[in-house]
Amino acid sequence: MALRSFPVLATAIASILAAPIGGPAQAQAPDFGDDSSRWAHDGECDDPRFEGEGMAAFTSPEDEMADASDCRAAFEAGRIRLIGGTAGPAPASPAGPADGSIPFGDDSSQWAQDGECDDRRFAGPGMATSLSWEHVGRDATDCRTLHEAGQVRLWDWEAARAATDCAAIDFGDDASEYANTGLCDDPRFEGFAMDGIITANETGHDASDCRRLCEMGAIALRDY
């Protein structure tokens, strides 16, 4: 169930920003179930057992344990947690582990080994034109190869925010069908208030949402 299908109030985004998900990983990951939900593979978790910024706007009991890939990816990225429980493992710092290595993961993505990096943790000219959180840590060969070639880098929230001058950005227009939903769909940006799936054809076409969220400090440029 894509978040983009429903307007999201600014107060909801503000509450997410005020209470980021974090904390130690659980000793054992939950049983995520399968992908039998009609909303599976949309980049958002629809399983009502969870809560957090990686969740769909609305959930239903029928999707319990039926959106495994989305929920597992969001849990492992630290973007959701079991209700009443602890969060998934916090994402690695933008600079990677202390030893300088990057946990690229595996090649379990359907888009693995296609010559583009589909892992949304990264940014750069080697990235795929459509990104979701589903492929985090699941396109290792492509992302490692492109990282070593200098075509992608880990996206750094702090550095991106410091380099983003909202007043200097041409946000474009509101021609996107997802304009004025409360989330930014322009793939030039990244952050807490981005849509679960971002595609190149939305570039410069969600101006009102993206301008407001940039000014709120909820998104920043992917390339800076």
How confident is the prediction along the chain (224 residues), in pLDDT tens digits per residue?
A: 444 433 333 344 334 344 443 444 444 678 999 999 988 988 889 999 998 888 888 888 889 999 999 998 888 888 888 987 655 554 444 444 545 588 999 999 999 999 999 999 999 999 999 999 889 999 999 999 999 999 999 999 999 999 999 999 999 999 999 999 989 999 999 998 899 899 999 999 999 999 999 999 999 999 98
Both tokens of 121, joined, read 């943790």
- Surface-to-core class of residue 222, CB atoms within 10 Å of its CB (0-12 exposed, 13-18 middle, 19+ buried): buried
Q: What is the dihedral of CA 189, 126, 203, 122, to 10 degrees?
A: -20
Phi, psi of 135 (to 5 degrees): -100, 10
Supply the pTM of this predicted model.
0.61
- Residue 178 CA to residue 88 CA, distance in Å, equals 29
CB atoms within 10 A of CB 172: 18
Cα distance between the two ends of the chain: 31
Phi-psi region of 41 (alpha: psi -120 to 50; beta: other; left: phi over 0): left
